Amino acid sequence: MIQRNFVVVLAIFLVMPGCSMRDDGIISDLEATLRSRLGDEMTIRSVLKSPIAGLYEVDLGDRIIYSDATGDRLLVGEIFDSKNRSNLTESRFSEINKIDFSALPFSDALKVVRGNGSRKLAVFSDPNCPYCKQLEAELESIDNVTIYTFLYPVLSPDSVEKSRAIWCSPDRTQAWGDWMLDHRKPTTTNICKTDVIERNIALGHSLNVKGTPTVFLSDGRRLPGALSIEKLEQQLVVAVAAKKAE
């Protein structure tokens, strides 16, 4: 994989204009060069100018890397706007990987409503993922929200068994909370259809969900990893504003 071949660099730069303009001549040559050199190791979805002059954004689907105009040097890392203290790579990745939130199969998810439930988010979570448990604890502090949790057991066979037991519990959301927050293992003897687990895994793959937890906001943006309550609240405000502006 490319992580083993290149030094991971954390780049901190000021924003420069022209991040969305396409220079067809340079970009088409660069894309051809990278496809030839990377081969089947990576799938290149697009190549565009980045916010840094002379640096190009390479969308690999599950992440963004950067290249110079020749393709000889690759940067594996993130671009930060030091003036606004924002992660430009993270924002860009979220933007180009937007989904249609309303099209998610919510009947295949656990549902929790707090307060008026006006703000909505979906979480793909594995029951054996420590970062998912960390996120679950943070979500306890958020009010006026509807949370759809898609059981996404991708870490181990035990994750699948726990997910099935939780789904077949008389109170699924309670069983989920008992396990994720209090480490009380689901012990239900109920037998039910658990094909929802396979559907969720297929759904996650189709949405390019590479890790857990992955959060989707109502405006379609994704937020990978365990998030702090402060960042969650901030992004929920942005998502609500974006939906109102549509």
User: Tokens standing for 228?
Assistant: 């702090």
CATH topology assigned to domain 2-96: Nuclear Transport Factor 2; Chain: A, (3.10.450)
User: Tokens standing for 180?
Assistant: 């994720």
Enumerate long-range contacts of 100-107, CB under 8 Å, 24 or more apart.
100/220, 101/216, 101/217, 101/218, 101/219, 101/220, 104/148, 104/150, 104/203, 104/216, 105/199, 105/203, 106/148
Domain boundaries, the chain: 2-96, 101-245
pLDDT tens readout for residues 2-35? 443 333 344 434 333 333 344 678 899 999 999 9
Q: Do domains 2-96 and 101-245 have the same CATH topology?
A: no
pLDDT tens readout for residues 68-117? 999 999 999 999 999 888 889 888 888 888 999 999 999 999 999 999 99
CA distance 127 to 167: 12
pLDDT tens readout for residues 189-215? 778 999 999 999 999 999 989 889 999
pLDDT for the residue 21: 42
Strand duo 11-13 + 79-81: pairing: parallel
Q: What CATH class does 101-245 carry?
A: alpha beta
CA distance 111 to 148: 5
